Amino acid sequence: MPIVTLSTDIGQGDYVVGAIKGQIVKAVPNVSIIDISHQLVANNYLHAAYVCANAFSFYPANTIHFVIINLFEKTPDHLLITKLQDQYIVCPDNGILTMIAGEKPVNIFAVRINKKNISGVLSCTEVFADIVQQIEKGTSPQQLGEPITIIEEKYPFRSTVGPDWIDSQIIFIDQFENVVINLTKQEFEEHRKGRKFRIALPARNEGGIANISENYASVEQGERLAWFNSAGYLELAINKGNLAGLFGLKRFSGGTTLNSLPNNKLMYERVKIFFE
């Protein structure tokens, strides 16, 4: 039974997600369709990449992941397909592939969409349903599309570092207003080198956060904490509170045009860590 995941910015307020599933089931009746999220934010590629990459890692080989974000940034005439860590990723050619992969995959193929038939999202997802059907029949990406070497590439800034500080970006804020920054435990420990540290929070720098906790229950209700979440990234929170709202922390709003950002980098509000 083929496994297909859907990650989109479509939302679930109307019929579109249901219609996409109908297209896929019609093409491959025995398919298993799993929703990762339909609340991705158009233009917030880093948010989408964080959600997708960390979810995809839990799926078995040959899972087919379909990502739709900012599909009509320009009229699409093809979808990209690649195989990454033994899983298929199908997505628009708008930079989301390199954001998820962290680099440009070696073998990428373009599956053409007939522009004359494009009337909305479902015109493009019909092509995806056919891709799923062909993969189920044993068709390889090489047979599905033509090799493509020039694609839209977008990459986030990495944390910047100095002798006694790290400057990191907010990449995700969840529904509880917990804040995830683009710093892994390995990166943190490499720069920490056993030293004491302080995570400075904008607008309120009275002490910051100076300890790494195991989980939310490690501190009293209302206390701030920092911990490495299941994805391995540093997360800042308040036990039973809303850290982002209290400290005025914000993620990328989507209001800035991507073309105005330098070198195809996406800029987010930053959090600084000092070492002693």
State how far the alpha carbon of 135 is from the alpha carbons of 96, 125, 145, 180, in Å.
22, 15, 12, 35
Give the domain extent around 246: 157-275
Indicate whether 223 and 238 sit together in one domain. Answer: yes
**For residue 75, what pLDDT is reported?**
83
Among 154, 186, 219, the domain-final residue is 154
**Most confident segment among 3-7, 152-156, 207-211:** 3-7
Residue 215 corresponds to which amino acid?
N
- The pTM for the full model equals 0.85
Q: Which two tokens stand for residue 224?
A: 């701030």
Indicate whether 60 and 80 sit together in one domain. Answer: yes
- Mean pLDDT of all residues in 138-161: 91
Q: Three-state DSSP class for 76?
A: coil
The overall average pLDDT reported for the chain is 89
Q: Are strands 233-238 and 265-266 parallel, antiparallel or unpaired?
A: unpaired
Indicate whether 176 and 145 sit together in one domain. Answer: no
Among 154, 173, 207, the domain-final residue is 154
pLDDT confidence tier of residue 74, bands split at 50, 70 and 90? confident
Domain count, the chain: 2
Indicate whether 176 and 118 sit together in one domain. Answer: no
Handedness of CA 141, 142, 148, 149 (dihedral sign): positive
